[in-house]
Every structure is written in structure tokens, then in C-alpha cells.
Structure 1
Amino acid sequence: MAELHRHQKILALLAEHPFLSVTELTDATGVSAATVRRDIDKLEKAGFGQRVHGGIAAEKGHHARRAIPLPFMENRDIAVEQKRAIAAAASTLVRDGTSIIIHGGSTCFHFGMAIARRNLRVFTHSMPLAAYLAEYGECQLTIGGGDLHREPGIVYDRFADERAFYASQFFVGALGIERQGLMETNPLLVQLTRDMAAFANEIIVLVDSRKFAERTSTLSLPFAQIRRLVTDDGLADADARMLEEEGVDYIIAARKGETDT
């Protein structure tokens, strides 16, 4: 079982049981006790639980709300109707002939599909999106260099100099949205998000409304850097008020093709 799938399995079990022993986890995942202990260390550092003698304990009051990152191919096919509506609304914010950066993630992938045939210069680190645009797109495509990280499907080298590409807009997703801003658990995505934000005039967040209920461990971008957010018509009133209080303009992408602000 791959590491990401093991972590998802452990977190799913931890949501049901306040304590899991190393022995229980070796049986559930089919790996050695040493591997399970390393998994426990990583989950504890990410804020998903607490290492205790003989296993891992759920963080009291928090474990049921923690966001669990899903593999890209699985996440791409969740809430598709909402993501397509968000992509369509976001595409109206882009002017032909401009340069844009598109982050990885499933909602950004749907956005990339929506602008694939536009007269644009697109920069991305997302391998799934780059593959789609290469086959079906008509835009000018630039792919970030570096090592391939199969999950979450990113090619990235944090030491690469990419200052030659400067964009009008950076379209980015997130694993969760809290009052502080955009939240993630993957250190790679946190660093990449911060790096790309420095190369764009405007940052536009693309997230479906489920992300406002997720709780993750690391701030990737504060709302102070965010110009606009596009979400679906499931946005709760409390979350809308939070965005207004933080000074973030938002667009609600109705699934019938109408948008409200």
C-alpha cells in the first residue's frame, strides 16, 4: 500500500477510534511496524494525531474535521458539477492575450479545461493539466521544471529560477479555507503556492464550498494576498460573511450558468 493511501486509511480509522495501536495499523495496512511508526511521525507533524506509547491517538475535538488529501484522479471526479460551474465563472475573469498561472488540483484542472482553446499563455506545474492542454488545447503552454511528484501530480524544483514568467493572474485551489486564508497539508504545495504567488499581479482562488468545512494544518497564503475567490452556490452565509470581513471579493458560480457576487 502506497504511503498516501496508508495515511488515508489511518486517518479514516482514527476518525472512528480514539486510539490505534501499531499492531492494529500493521494489520490494516499490511506494512511493517517500522513503516507504521514512520507514518505516525509524519501524521503527528502534519497535525492529524498525537504519537503515544504503542500507537497514535486522535487529537481531541479535531480528528473528525481534519481534511484528508485524496489522490488527484479520485478528487477530480468529486463535486464535478460544482467545479465546472466554478471553472466557467473563473474563465470570464481572463482576458485573451494575457499570461496566467494555473496551480495543480482538481478545480484548477477543470478551469484549465475551460480555457484550453483560448488565446492565452499558460504556465503550470500540474502534469495532468499540462498533458490535457498539450493534447486538446490551443493556448501557448509553459511547464514548470523539476522533479515529478506523482501525488499530487506536480513537477517542481523549489530552487529553479522561474522569474522569466510573470503573469497577470494566478489561479490556485486549496485543501481548506479558514479565517487565516488558504490551508494545505502537503509542504510541497505550500511552498509552490507561495512561490507562484510572487509571480502574478492578481491571485484568484478556485474552491468548491466543501473546502470551508475542512480543517488543515498549514497556511499556504493569507487572505491579505488574495484578490478574489470563486466558489459554488453551496457557500454558507457564515462563510460569506467571513470573506467579507477579510476583504475578499467573491463570486458564486451557480450551477445553472448564472453568477452572483
Structure 2
Amino acid sequence: MSDADRHRIITDLLKERPFASVRDLQEQLGVSAATVRRDIDKLHEIGKARKVYGGISASVGPGLSRIAARSYDENRDRAVEAKRAIAQAAAGLVRDGDSIIVHAGSTCYHLGLLLARRNVRLYTNSMPLAAYLGENGTCHLTIAGGELHREPRIIHDPAAGPPSFFASRFFVGTQGINNEGLLESHPLLTKVISELASCADEIVVLADSSKFSIQARNLVLPLSRVSTIIVDDGLSDANAKMLEDAGVTIVIAHPSGNGG
């Protein structure tokens, strides 16, 4: 297999997941760890991906990429293993008897699945999650009132303001993250997240590491308002330092096969 063939396989893999470890690539390519590291160095050098601790992370080109928000269906099928690992780590923060808010979005949806039969009071504005919990859950469920917005699949009443639901934690995803805070392109999500944040003691962000490469239009919440972020092991040292400097607790979730 030529260098070009290996590089193509690696970049194609990173379209489906935000991070691949050296071991992952050894198994995928059937080559030595030394060869994998040379490939990682080359892809990092030419800007096709980012070299991070233990492997390689998806890149969207030099610097940050400003993109429109993806549809719910498109986003749902990206970085699935990372999202499941992040959701599993988030579920570990929830204690029996807690009152929590789980925002709409694909990573938060995976969290909701794990909490379906837990002894918790759960508020959500996610239409897919509400439908699942209604059919399969035993948790105490409160659903946002208002109109159904089929994209981004949330239920919201623009005239109602924040709900009368108080939570210990608000679990929320985001389109992008930078040194200022959480970013969104969709104006409705910007409004809804801000309202729900006012109803919780702590904000826990669920975000795969690719979100640090996305520069969306609107600042939703400053990093100073975020208590904890749960992210996969593709987080770069620079972004980890940015979060630590802002006082955000970092929890690393390891997708299957990427370590303990």
C-alpha cells in the first residue's frame, strides 16, 4: 500500500469519527506504529488532519472553519462512537433523584437513552428524545411546551420564556466552541439554550473534539458559565489549556478501542 493510499484511508476515516489512535490505524492499515506516526506527521504537516496526543484528529483545514449548522439527521450519523462514549460519561454524573435538563441534539439524545429508566426528573425540548422516553422510559418526564420545529427537532414556545423547571444540571451540546464560549448558527437554538441555562445550577457541555474547529455565528454562553465539558480523546493540548484557563473541568471520554 502506497503512502497516498494510506493517507486517503486515514482522511476518509476521520470523516466518520473525530479521532483515531495509533493503534486504530495500525489495525486498519496493517502497518507498524512507526509507519502510522510518519503518516500522522505528514497529514499534520500538509493540513489534512491534526496530530494530537495518542493519534490523529479530524481537521477542517488551516485555522477554524465557519460553516452553517448541519441538519439533525446529518449530525446524528457523525462521530457516533465518540458521542456514545461522551453520553456514558455524562450519565455517570447523574444521581438517583436528580432533576436535570437534557437539551436537543444528537449527543444529548444518547444521554437520554441511558437515563430512560433511571430514577430522575428529566426535562427535555427534544422531540426525538421525548418520543423515545414516552414509549420506553420510566423516568419522570417533563416536555417543553409549544410548537414543533422540525429542524432542529425541538419543541419551543417563543412567547413563554424560560420553563418553570429547576435543575441541578443542564446537559447541552453545541455547534462550535472557542475561547469565548459555546457557539451556534441557528438563532432559535441560541435563544433556547440561553433560556434553559438560567434554570440550572451547573452547565455540562457534551461535545466531540471536532467542535473546536467550528466557528459558528452566535455566542450562546461564555466559558465562564460552563462547569464541565465532556469530550472525546481527540482534544488538543491547546484546547485543553484554553478550557482549564477558563476554569472548566474536563472529562475525557474514550470511544471503544481508543483506550481505557
TM over 0.5: yes
TM-score (norm 2): 0.73
**Is the counterpart of residue 141 in structure 1 residue 135 in structure 2?**
no
Partners in 2 of 1:219 and 1:227 — Cα distance? 17
For the residue of structure 1 that corresponds to 2:219, the secondary structure is: strand
Flag as ranges the 4+ runs of structure 1 deviating above 3 A.
Answer: 61-64, 256-260
Task: Give, in angstroms, the shift of residue 231 of structure 1.
Answer: 0.5
Specify the code of the residue in structure 1 equivalent to 2:211.
K
**Is the counterpart of residue 172 in structure 1 residue 172 in structure 2?**
yes
* Corresponding pairs, count: 200
| Number of the residue aligned with 1:154 | 154
For the residue of structure 2 that corresponds to 1:133, the secondary structure is: helix
Partners in 2 of 1:82 and 1:63 — Cα distance? 23
Task: Give, in angstroms, the shift of residue 138 of structure 1.
Answer: 1.4
Would the aligned equivalents of 2:162 and 2:195 in 1 still touch at CA under 8 Å?
A: no
**Is the counterpart of residue 253 in structure 1 residue 253 in structure 2?**
yes
Task: Give, in angstroms, the shift of residue 65 of structure 1.
Answer: 1.1
Would the aligned equivalents of 2:101 and 2:123 in 1 still touch at CA under 8 Å?
A: yes
Task: Give, in angstroms, the shift of residue 142 of structure 1.
Answer: 0.6
Would the aligned equivalents of 2:64 and 2:213 in 1 still touch at CA under 8 Å?
A: no
Specify the code of the residue in structure 1 equivalent to 2:230.
V
Task: Give, in angstroms, the shift of residue 68 of structure 1.
Answer: 2.7
| Number of the residue aligned with 2:208 | 208
Specify the code of the residue in structure 2 equivalent to 1:121.
R
Would the aligned equivalents of 1:205 and 1:230 in 2 still touch at CA under 8 Å?
A: yes
Would the aligned equivalents of 2:161 and 2:195 in 1 still touch at CA under 8 Å?
A: no
Partners in 2 of 1:135 and 1:73 — Cα distance? 21
Task: Give, in angstroms, the shift of residue 74 of structure 1.
Answer: 2.1
| Number of the residue aligned with 1:17 | none
Specify the code of the residue in structure 2 equivalent to 1:116.
A
| Number of the residue aligned with 1:31 | none
Partners in 2 of 1:172 and 1:68 — Cα distance? 19
| Number of the residue aligned with 1:228 | 228
Structure 1 residues 197-248: Cα deviation after superposition (integer angstroms, max 9, x where no partner): 0001111000001000111110000011111000101111111111011111
Query: How do residues 71-110 of structure 1 correspond to structure 2 at under 5 angstroms?
Result: 71-110=71-110
Partners in 1 of 2:213 and 2:141 — Cα distance? 34
List alignment gaps of at least 5 residues for structure 2. Answer: 1-60
Would the aligned equivalents of 1:108 and 1:171 in 2 still touch at CA under 8 Å?
A: yes
Task: Give, in angstroms, the shift of residue 164 of structure 1.
Answer: 2.6
The alpha-carbon distance between structure 1 residues 63 and 228, as it changes in their structure 2 partners (threshold 3 A), is closer
Task: Give, in angstroms, the shift of residue 64 of structure 1.
Answer: 7.8
Partners in 2 of 1:167 and 1:208 — Cα distance? 24
Task: Give, in angstroms, the shift of residue 159 of structure 1.
Answer: 2.3
Task: Give, in angstroms, the shift of residue 62 of structure 1.
Answer: 9.8
Partners in 2 of 1:67 and 1:204 — Cα distance? 24
Would the aligned equivalents of 1:243 and 1:250 in 2 still touch at CA under 8 Å?
A: yes
| Number of the residue aligned with 1:69 | 69
List alignment gaps of at least 5 residues for structure 1. Answer: 1-60
Partners in 2 of 1:214 and 1:164 — Cα distance? 33
Task: Give, in angstroms, the shift of residue 157 of structure 1.
Answer: 1.2
TM-score (norm 1): 0.72
| Number of the residue aligned with 1:120 | 120
Partners in 1 of 2:64 and 2:253 — Cα distance? 28
For the residue of structure 2 that corresponds to 1:65, the secondary structure is: coil
Specify the code of the residue in structure 1 equivalent to 2:226.
I
Partners in 1 of 2:69 and 2:217 — Cα distance? 12
Over the residues paired in the alignment, what is the CA RMSD in angstroms? Answer: 2.1
Specify the code of the residue in structure 2 equivalent to 1:247.
G
| Number of the residue aligned with 1:186 | 186
Query: How do residues 51-66 of structure 1 correspond to structure 2 at under 5 angstroms?
Result: 65-66=65-66
Task: Give, in angstroms, the shift of residue 158 of structure 1.
Answer: 2.9
Specify the code of the residue in structure 2 equivalent to 1:142.
T
Would the aligned equivalents of 2:88 and 2:111 in 1 still touch at CA under 8 Å?
A: yes
Would the aligned equivalents of 1:100 and 1:121 in 2 still touch at CA under 8 Å?
A: yes
What is the percent sequence identity of the aligned residues?
A: 52
Task: Give, in angstroms, the shift of residue 67 of structure 1.
Answer: 2.6
Task: Give, in angstroms, the shift of residue 251 of structure 1.
Answer: 0.2
Task: Give, in angstroms, the shift of residue 163 of structure 1.
Answer: 4.5
Partners in 2 of 1:197 and 1:226 — Cα distance? 10
Partners in 2 of 1:240 and 1:63 — Cα distance? 17
